[in-house]
Structures are given as C-alpha cells and as structure tokens.
Amino acid sequence: MAADRIYISVILPLRLEWEPCYSYTGDIPCPPESMTGPEAEIKDNRTEGVRRGDRVRVQFAGKEYIGTVDQVGILPQISPDKIKGIISVERELAPVSEEERTLWKQVAEYYMCSIGEVSKAAYPAGKISEEKKLAGMQQREEERRNKKISLLREKLAKLQGKRPQEGKIREKIAAAEAELQRLQGLMPGEGNTLPMPDDRIMLSQAQEKAFLKIKEAFGKGMPALLKGVTGSGKTEIYTKLACECIRAGKNVLYMVPEIALGRHLEMRLQEVFGARLMTFHSGESMARRRDTADRVRTAEGYIVLGTRSSIFLPHHNLGLIIVDEEHDSSYKQDSPAPRYNGRDTAVMLAGIHGCDIVLGSATPSLESLYNCMSGKYTIAELKERYHHAEDAEIEIIDTIAERKKNGMRGSFSVRLIEHIRETLDEEGQVMLFRARRSFSPAVQCIECGFIPKCPHCNVSLSLHKRKNDDGHGRLVCHSCGYSAPFTGQCQKCGGEMRGLGAGTQKIEEEVSALFPSARVARLDSDTAQSPVYSKETVRKFSKGETDILIGTQMVTKGFDFPNLRLVAVLQADTLLGIEDFRADEKAAQLLEQFRGRCGRRDRRGLFVIQTSAPDHPVYRILAEGTKIEETALLSERKLFSYPPYTRVINIEIRDKSEQRAMLMSTKLYGILEAGAQPYALTGPFSPAVDKAADNYIRVIRLNLRKDKNLVGTKRRIMTAVNDFESKEKYAGHIAIDVDPI
C-alpha cells in the first residue's frame, strides 16, 4: 500500500450489509494495516488526516453522500485501482464518537437492519444540512451572545440600583438573571460556571427506601426498575438521582415517551436544573435541536429531557439514564428502520457508557417485570402515594343496561353526568378519555349502509369538523393522511351520511351542550400539533382555569393536577378489541395510569369506566387491585410462547399487487420453514389493516427461543431474507420488525 494512500471504510446512510472502502491521499503516514482496533484509533488520532468518526463526502452508485469513517488503515479486499477516493473531509461537521458508532452497530444487529439505516436515523439529511448551514455562523452567534451577556449585566446593575423590593422590579431582575444564566450555559466550556442543582430534595420514608434500593442496584452494576403507584413521587426520586449525578460531574439523559408529557415535566425540572436542562424532541425546530446536539457533545453537568430520538444524541460522560413510563408503546418506532424500542436501546446505551439506568412506571411492562423475576434487574417499589391519598374509587357503568332503561344521553350515561355535575359544583376538575380523535371514527349511509374507506388503505375514513367551516367538515384517513370534503351525502345512492360513534371532537361538543357554563378544552394529536396550544392547555388545566379536559391517550400519562377529582373513560371497549397479544396488558396499564391522575391530595377521587362488557377480566384486575404480574397474563404468554418467554419477529411484505404480496410472502415462508429451525412460524396472514398507502400487507411471524443461539438465529434469518430479496429482485418490499408492539 502506498505510504501516502490511506484506505478507510465508510458508513453510508443506506441499507447496505457492508461498509464501502474509499481511499484518502495525504502527507501523513497511515496506521499499520493490521491495526484496526483501539490502538489504530489512538495512533490515527495523533495525525491531521482522516480519523475514525470523521464525516466525509463520497460518491456511491453515481450519487454523493456524507458518510462516517468507521475504520482507518484497512487492507482493501479488491484492487486498489477500483477504489474511489473521498471527495472531501467535512471538517465543519463534528465527528461521530466511538460510543455513537458502537450504539449504531448494536442497534443494527439487534433490530436486524443495516448500520447505515441507524446512522440515517441518528443523522438525517435535514440535520446534516442544518449542521452545514449553521456551522459557519457559530462564531457570529458567539459574538452576539457575548454582546447580549454584556448588555444584560448592565441592565441588571441598573435594576439592582433601583428599588428591588418592588414586585415589578423583582420580576424584571429574575427574568434578566434567568436569561443571563441561560446564555452563559450556552457558552462552550462554561457549563461548570452554572449553579449546581440543589440535591437536598426531601423524600418521604417510602421514597427514601426506594431510593436506597436503586442506589444498591447501581452499586452492583444492575439496571433498576422503580415500580411506584401513580402519585407516589417517582419524579422526586429521579430528580434526586439526577442531582447527585450532575454534582458528581456526570451527565444525565431523562427519557419520556411523548412530547406532551415532556412539556409538563420540563416546567418542574426547570426549577431544579435551570440552564443545565436541555430538551430534545420532534416538536422543536431543527436549529434548536442542532444547538442541543452541539451542547451535548461538549457540555459538562447537563440533563437532557427527550423522547426516544434523544438516544442518538452525541452523549459523553453519561452517568445516569432515566426511562420514565417505561411500559409505554410510544418508545417503539414503527417505521422506517431501525424499528427500535427506546427503552431497550437505552439499556444498550447505558452498557456502552458504563452508566446507571433506572426504568420507572406505575404499571411496568411484563418484559421488565420478568427481568426482575429472573434477576436481570432490581425492583424498587413505592406502594403508597406521596400525600397518602387513597386510590380513586372505581365505578363501572354498563352502557347496554343503561341504554335499555333510557339512561344514556349521547355518549354519556345519566350517572356519569350526575358525577360530573357534582364535581363541578364542588369546584373540582374533570378529565374525560376517549381513545379516538376526530368527530366520528366513521360515517355510514342510513339508506344503503355504505361506509367510505380510504382509497389507499383498508381503513374507514373519520369525520373531522373545524370551527367556522361549512358544517360538513372533512373525511380523513388516520393511516396515510388522505382527506376529502364531507358533503353529508352518500356517493353511492345520494342518501344521508351519519357519523358512527364519537371521537374527542364530538365528545367536546356534547360536553359543551351538557355543561354550558363549564370551561372545556381538548388535547389530542390534532390540537397538540401546536406546541403553544398544547403547553397552554396543560398550564390552564393545572392552574384550575379549565374545568373539563377531554383527550386521547396523551392525557392519561404523567400529569399531576391537584384539583382533579373525576376521571372517566368513554367507550372503553375500544381498548380491548384489538388484534394484539398485548391488548389486555396495554388496556390494564392505560386504565391504571388514567386512574392515578385523580384524587392525589386530601380527597379520594372517582374513576368511572363506561363499557358494554363490565365483566371483562381487565376491569376485574383493576377493581380488585391485583398486581399484573400475579394475573393469568404471564402464564398465558408462557403457554402460547409469547414474550417475555420468547422473542417475536414480524416480517412484513408490502406490495401494490395483492396477488404478488401473497405469492412472495408464501415463497419466503417456505424458505424460512425449510429444515429444522429453532423458531415457530405463523402466516403469512393479513393484519387488521391489510392495506396502507396503496400497498397490500402480509405478515410472517417468528417466535424464537431465548437461548445462546438467539443472535446466530437472527443472523441466519436476516441472511435468508436478504438472499430472497436479491434472488427475486424484490428489494424495498420487506421490513423486519423485532419485538413488535
């Protein structure tokens, strides 16, 4: 190999099962060809040439890409004459750390995708573009920041020279100090100048016991599971752990499943951590996320509050990872690859950084409970609420029986209406949960029975109404986003179309009619698209400026509203009628979480469930207070070979031709079935939604034994699928989903 020619492997943001080799010509010697491990990296880092983690621009298959250097000084497997040189080293882009690349590789192996797909998730094209666009502006930003800091200091000096005891002056001083602290926190290398968080957080006796149990687990190098009833004060324990970690000079990642919960929690954490707190989620601008990534890469003593994507930030010196509401399915990415679970990936990240990790929930997943039972995790429990309030009383209302005796008013039973009225009369607040957004989940012709479906998906169109529209609204597909005007007339026979069922929009309309003097708000994925509206809605309800809040799942999680006295679930059966082996577990978790929203202080709350199946086992679990791990759910999983006793992999085939989708899925099934394999096969079958975005869907399900051969078995499956795609020229039609939710 020529002395001035270095051969490198590059991770490209593509689905490739190998890393392309490129050459770099420079004036410095390259590491020995045999050195591709840590020694080579150490030696290579002393040079000014290409280093591991550098971002380089290269050409692949006629297109230019920005990739990440993985290995330097490799021995080419093909003729050097056929190896292309890199176009440039993108010095303005920050290098990718060794820990980041290690995480990419572990995620790719576990979730059976390529490392390129993981790198694309960590550094999407938009993020790279934003990095490049803003890289040259950093110096000017720093100059502007320094100028602002200087002006703020002058302003503070003037304000403090006035009458600081006056309320308005005090407010201005506080605002100026907060802004000054924030700007100083953004200064590179100045993280240690920020005030340390106060770790003298007062814990109850029960909290202190759980806290010490978690610390004991950390001392053994084990993950901890904090199982605490809703309102038991898990957040205080997380906060104390985070304070101790930051005071020890380490950094913290605090994960939440959804943006709405993150915004509520942000206000609480801001009081403790000030400018040390950063947030990271899809609701923020690309520029703001880029700023957060820059700070995470270099700052010390920070805490990041983020959703699952915060896993892929360039973390360093991590001391603690907190995964709140660890059971929540929002941690799982459905598409595109990598189809990872943020909770499980956080455990990988903790292993890479050698840091502590605590998972928390009032209703932990069966997988996490199983890990505790098998000795993999340590469990710490909080069995009482922080203010010693009693669990909310449960009342189950049989809507079929109520309807027979004329006891229903639209979506509401007369009994529930009375409960709401009594709560409002006593100046308490009410929260109503409905699992479906929209005005009506579907519409139907009263003459011919026709139900409009999406032309691209096998999904009924939902009716959405908007304020100040023509009264008809739009029909919307919740799968692909297709929409069309709703005229109120059947396109088949011209008859009248009416809504079937009630979504959150219609519930809001009914509530406003039943309680005209009440202040009503709605929080679902339609209204939460506006971060300002979402934050303001939560703030108003928290301050008692809203009487009744209606919402979907996002209102059931993590919120603490002191005056909330009544929570109610409307049409609860929609939580159970799902083709999913986890349906009962998810329903029990969600209902228990929602129950915990109310009665958190001096008065016992009321939890009302309206259902047409009052004898369902899930409701009995709730009413009897049975621990989910003590129910039949775990034994049923074992009986039918489902997680946590096995690993499930779904192989999904999508094709615009229904016939070809069935043909190809049957062929692939035959290949996977051939020979004695250490897994059970099911399928190919049609899922509940068997057509989406003009593609017909078929699924092959594999149940794998959890043994020492699991990794090898997964590799053989992935090889079989890749070979099938290549042989049949069927690339782009097959997706592998490990641990589907």
**pLDDT, position 285:** 81
**What residues form DSSP beta bridges with 5?**
25
Task: Give pLDDT, residue 493.
Answer: 93
pLDDT tens-digit map of 5-27: 899 999 999 999 999 999 988 64
Statement: residue 265 has pLDDT above 90: no
Supply the pLDDT for residue 310. Answer: 97
pLDDT of residue 105: 97
Confidence band of 34 (pLDDT split at 50, 70, 90): very low
Bridge-partner residues for 378, per DSSP?
224
**pLDDT at site 151:** 81
Query: For position 307, what pLDDT does the model report?
Result: 95
pLDDT band at 529; cut points 50, 70, 90: confident
Q: How far apart are the C-alpha atoms of 354 and 319, rounded to whole Å? A: 8
218-223-228 Cα angle (round to 5)? 100
Q: Which residue has the higher pLDDT, 88 or 141?
A: 88
Q: How confident is the model at residue 187 (pLDDT cuts 50, 70, 90)?
A: very low
Query: Is the per-residue pLDDT at 37 higher than 90?
Result: no
Range scoring the smallest mean pLDDT among 455-459, 464-468, 537-541, 553-557 = 464-468
CA–CA dist 547, 520 (Å, integer):
6
Residues in CB range of 650: below 8 A, 6 or more apart: 699, 700, 701, 702, 736, 737, 740
Query: pLDDT tier at 190 (50, 70, 90 boundaries)?
Result: very low
Angle of the 583-595 helix axis to the 617-624 helix axis, nearest 10: 40
Question: Which element (helix H / strand E) includes 568?
Answer: strand 564-569
For residue 539, what pLDDT is reported? 87
For the segment 147-152, the average pLDDT, to the nearest whole number, is: 79
Q: Of 281, 245, 262, 196, which is closest to residue 358 (Cα–Cα)? A: 245
Q: Is 318 helix (H, G, I), strand (E, B) or coil?
A: strand
pLDDT band for position 149 (50/70/90)? Answer: confident
Chain segment 480-498, per-residue pLDDT in tens = 999 999 999 999 999 999 9
Per-residue pLDDT, 512: 96
Give CA–CA dist 646/53, Å, rounded: 36
pLDDT tens digit string along 655-707?
Answer: 999 999 999 999 999 999 986 678 999 989 999 889 999 999 999 999 999 88
Q: What is the pLDDT of residues 575-588, one digit of tens each?
A: 887 778 899 999 99
The confidence score (pLDDT) of residue 38 equals 40
DSSP 8-state class, residue 554: G
User: pTM of the predicted model, to two decimals?
Assistant: 0.85
In the predicted model, is pLDDT for residue 162 greater than 80? Answer: no
Find how far residue 143's CA is from the centre of its chain. Answer: 36
Judged against a pLDDT cut of 50, whether residue 312 lies above it is answered with yes
Q: How many Å apart are CA 684 and CA 672, to the nearest integer? A: 12
Q: What is the DSSP letter of 551?
A: E
For the segment 167-175, the average pLDDT, to the nearest whole number, is: 70
pLDDT score, position 29: 36
pLDDT: is 665 or 335 the higher one? 665
d(CA 341, CA 575): 22
Q: Are 388 and 231 in contact (CB under 8 A)?
A: no
Task: State the Cα–Cα distance between residues 522 and 528, nearest whole angstrom.
Answer: 9
Question: Considering only 79-93, 201-215, 356-370, 386-400, which range has the smallest mean pLDDT?
Answer: 386-400
| pLDDT at position 525 | 83
Residue 253 structure tokens: 């990642």
In whole angstroms, give the CA distance from residue 293 to residue 436. Answer: 35
Higher pLDDT, 171 or 661: 661
Answer whether residue 289 shows pLDDT above 90: no
Under a CB-based contact definition with an 8 Å cutoff, are residues 296 and 304 in contact? yes
Beta bridge partners of 653: 698, 734
Name the one residue in this structure whose structure tokens are 């009225």: 421
Q: Which residues pair with 498 in a beta bridge?
A: 444
The first and second tokens of residue 685, run together, are 């079958």
Whether 600 shows a pLDDT value over 80: the answer reads: no
Residue 41 pLDDT greater than 80, yes or no? no
Q: Average pLDDT of 510-521?
A: 96
Strands 412-413 and 408-409: antiparallel
Pick the more confident residue, 164 or 572.
572
Beta bridge partners of 226: 360, 380
| CA triple 124-348-275, angle to 5 deg | 65
Residue range 31-51: average pLDDT?
48
Structure tokens, 47:
């040079």
> Order of strands across the sheet with 277-280?
277-280, 303-306, 251-255, 318-324, 356-361, 224-228, 378-382
Q: Is pLDDT of 85 > 80?
A: yes
pLDDT score of 547 more than 50: yes
The CA dihedral of 367, 559, 428, 206, to the nearest 10 degrees, is 70
**Closest CA relative to residue 102, chosen from 297, 311, 266, 272:** 311
Burial of 47 (0-12, 13-18, 19+ CB in 10 A): middle
Instruction: Determine the residue type at 33.
Output: E
Mean pLDDT, the chain, integer: 87
Q: What angle do CA 455, 458, 462 make, to 5 degrees?
A: 75
Residue 621, pLDDT > 90, answer no
pLDDT at 337 over 70: yes
455: which 2 tokens?
């032309």
Q: What phi and psi values does residue 565 have, to the nearest 5 degrees? A: -110, -25
For the chain, counts of helices (H) and of strands (E)? 21, 30
Q: Which residues contact 503 (CB under 8 A, 6 or more apart)?
A: 434, 436, 437, 438, 439, 440, 441, 462, 463
Share of the chain above pLDDT 70, in %: 89
For residues 305-319, average pLDDT = 96
Q: How confident is the model over 225-251, as pLDDT tens digits?
A: 999 988 888 999 999 999 999 999 999
Q: What is the DSSP string of 494-534?
A: --BEEEES--HHHHHHHHHHH-TTS-EEEESTTGGGSHHHH
Q: How far is CA 344 from CA 110, 352, 364, 590, in A?
A: 10, 13, 13, 20
Q: Tell me the CA distances in angstroms from 457 to 113, 436, 442, one per residue in order.
A: 26, 18, 14
Length of the chain in terms of residues written: 741
Distance between CA 31 and CA 734 in Å, rounded?
40
Q: Do 662 and 684 form a contact (C-beta atoms < 8 A)? A: yes
How confident is the model at residue 467, as a pLDDT?
61
Q: Is residue 533 within 8 Å of residue 442, measured between CB atoms? A: no
Where residue 601 falls among pLDDT bands split at 50, 70, 90? low
